[in-house]
């Protein structure tokens, strides 16, 4: 791991691309001294229980108030995908967070298969030029990336819980995690579309899972007719 003395270090991390329900959450944290975050033994948020993530998120916020969390709604993602790729959306989101925190050095979890290209694309949108270390699975490598990952994941969990509180009472079914591979989420979407003949609020319409479920329902109705 690269250590930097007497300089602000910063990481940007985002929640996974995959959810069909809920927002994209991008988080950045800025530490001048990483020793405190290392002592917390943070790790990739996906490897932690929800309770552990929540505990660590509070500790991270106690260590530094210099963090930024950006939330992009499902509707905004759908609108942007009409003119942008998902990678471009994530580059834009990372750039916004970096502009807010203005670090000298950034560690970023690359959303592009080409790590160097991801770094170059972020730099192209900045008026200042920090050093950007772009790596795949950076949240497994750098504690600062793990910290940002934890903030992003806990905030996304909070947002999904709000969505569940809003929608589950209308269907009397659990929403699940919001990920397309989750059978609970799949069942929720299919039942919602069957009853309301449209996708529920906060769903990413541009995702194949969502469009396929709409098509399935339309086909069933034609067969019944």
Better-predicted residue by pLDDT, 4 or 41: 41
Residue 189: per-residue pLDDT: 97
Q: What are 195-213's pLDDT values in tens digits? A: 999 999 999 999 999 999 9
- Assign 6 a pLDDT band (cuts: 50, 70, 90): very low
Tokens representing residue 126 in the block: 């900045």
Tokens representing residue 118 in the block: 């991801």
- Among 60, 69, 75, CA closest to 100: 69
Superfamily of domain covering 9-158: Ribonuclease H-like superfamily/Ribonuclease H (3.30.420.10)
Whether the model pTM is above 0.95? no
Q: Where exactly are the structural domains of the chain?
A: 9-158, 162-224
Q: What are 68-95's pLDDT values in tens digits? A: 999 999 999 999 999 999 999 999 999 9
Q: What are 149-198's pLDDT values in tens digits? A: 999 999 999 999 999 999 999 999 999 999 999 999 999 999 999 999 99
Determine the CATH number of domain 162-224: 1.10.10.460
Number of Cβ within 10 Å of residue 198's Cβ equals: 12
Whole-angstrom distance, CA of residue 36 vs CA of residue 38:
5
- For 13, 114, 146, 155, 191, the CA distances from 44, given in Å and listed in that order, are 10, 21, 5, 15, 34
């Amino acid at each position: 791991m690269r250590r930097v003395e007497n300089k602000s270090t910063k990481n940007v991390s985002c929640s996974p691309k995959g959810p069909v329900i809920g927002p994209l959450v991008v988080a950045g944290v800025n530490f001048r001294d990483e020793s405190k975050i290392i002592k917390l033994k943070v790790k990739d948020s996906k490897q932690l229980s929800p309770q552990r993530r929540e505990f660590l998120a509070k500790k991270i916020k106690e260590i530094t108030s210099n963090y930024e969390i950006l939330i992009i709604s499902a509707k905004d993602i759908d609108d942007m995908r009409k003119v942008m790729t998902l990678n471009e959306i994530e580059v834009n989101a990372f750039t916004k967070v970096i502009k807010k925190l203005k670090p000298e050095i950034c560690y970023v979890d690359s959303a592009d298969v080409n790590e160097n290209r991801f770094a170059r694309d972020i730099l192209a949108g900045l008026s200042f030029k920090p050093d950007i270390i772009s790596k795949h699975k950076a949240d497994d490598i750098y504690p600062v990336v793990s910290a940002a990952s934890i903030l992003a994941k806990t905030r996304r969990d909070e947002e999904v819980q709000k969505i569940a509180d809003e929608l589950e009472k209308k269907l009397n079914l659990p929403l699940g995690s919001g990920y397309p591979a989750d059978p609970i989420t799949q069942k929720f979407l299919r039942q919602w579309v069957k009853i309301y003949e449209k996708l529920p609020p906060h769903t990413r319409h541009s995702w194949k899972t969502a469009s396929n479920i709409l098509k399935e329902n339309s086909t069933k109705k034609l067969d019944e007719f």
